[in-house]
């Protein structure tokens, strides 16, 4: 996440309160505004900035990207284990649609699970719908652009008008 930590052991909050004297407001600030990609990198919560800083030699920015991709890989593996199989993996949203390096690093090492990326297709699929897995991949991998703002606006109108969400 950009500024939030994702999974956190709740015991860490008590540790921070006891050891550093952090109160609820300080913990809230840290957890919601100073963690995640920003907290690890120390420079930004924007993946584009982190990739650039990482290429320029910023180790913390590189670590933030590596941790992000590790978490994506971990969740893909966990969902594959829970589901038993999957037909497709979709990359969407800002990072998923626009960051070929993150998609490649996130899928790296998943070949044993039937996920094989096509490096050329991955690089060409910036902001457009495209299959980025190789033909022999057991699991198809796609980039699927989304218009999150439009979906939020439509759902808001439906809620205001009392219509059923589809």
**Residue 136 contacts by C-beta under 8 Å, 6 or more apart in sequence?**
116
Q: How confident is the model at residue 158 (pLDDT cuts 50, 70, 90)?
A: confident
Give dist(CA 61, CA 39) in Å, integer: 10
CATH architecture of 1-84: 2-Layer Sandwich (3.30)
Domain ranges of the chain: 1-84, 86-166
Domain 86-166 indexed as CATH 3.30.420.40: yes
Residue 138 pLDDT > 60? yes
* Intrachain domains 1-84 and 86-166 with the same fold: yes
Residue 19 pLDDT > 70? yes
Query: Distance of CA 18 to CAs 12, 13, 22, 35, Å?
Result: 10, 9, 7, 19
Residue identified by tokens 């969740």 is 75
Phi-psi group of 164: left, alpha or beta (phi > 0 → left; psi -120 to 50 → alpha; rest → beta): beta
- Residue range 10-35: average pLDDT? 94
> Model confidence over 91-119: pLDDT tens digits?
998 899 999 999 999 999 999 999 999 99
> Model's pTM, two decimal places?
0.85
Neighbour-count burial of 28, counting CB atoms closer than 10 A to its CB (0-12 exposed, 13-18 middle, 19+ buried): exposed
């Amino acid at each position: 996440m950009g500024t939030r930590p994702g999974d956190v052991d709740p015991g860490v909050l008590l540790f921070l309160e006891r050891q550093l004297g952090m109160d609820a407001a300080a913990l809230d600030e840290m957890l919601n505004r100073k963690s995640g990609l920003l907290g690890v990198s120390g420079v930004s919560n924007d993946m584009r900035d982190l990739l650039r800083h990482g290429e320029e030699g910023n180790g913390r920015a590189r670590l933030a990207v590596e941790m992000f991709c590790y978490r994506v890989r971990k969740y893909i593996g966990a969902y594959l284990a829970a589901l038993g199989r999957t037909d497709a993996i979709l990359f969407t949203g800002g990072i998923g649609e626009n960051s070929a390096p993150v998609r490649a690093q996130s899928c790296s090492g998943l070949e044993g699970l039937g996920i094989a990326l096509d490096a050329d297709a991955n690089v060409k699929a910036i902001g457009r719908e495209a299959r980025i897995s190789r033909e022999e991949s057991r699991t198809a991998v796609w980039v699927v652009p989304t218009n999150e703002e439009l979906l939020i606006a439509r759902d808001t109108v439906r809620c205001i008008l009392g219509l059923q969400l589809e």
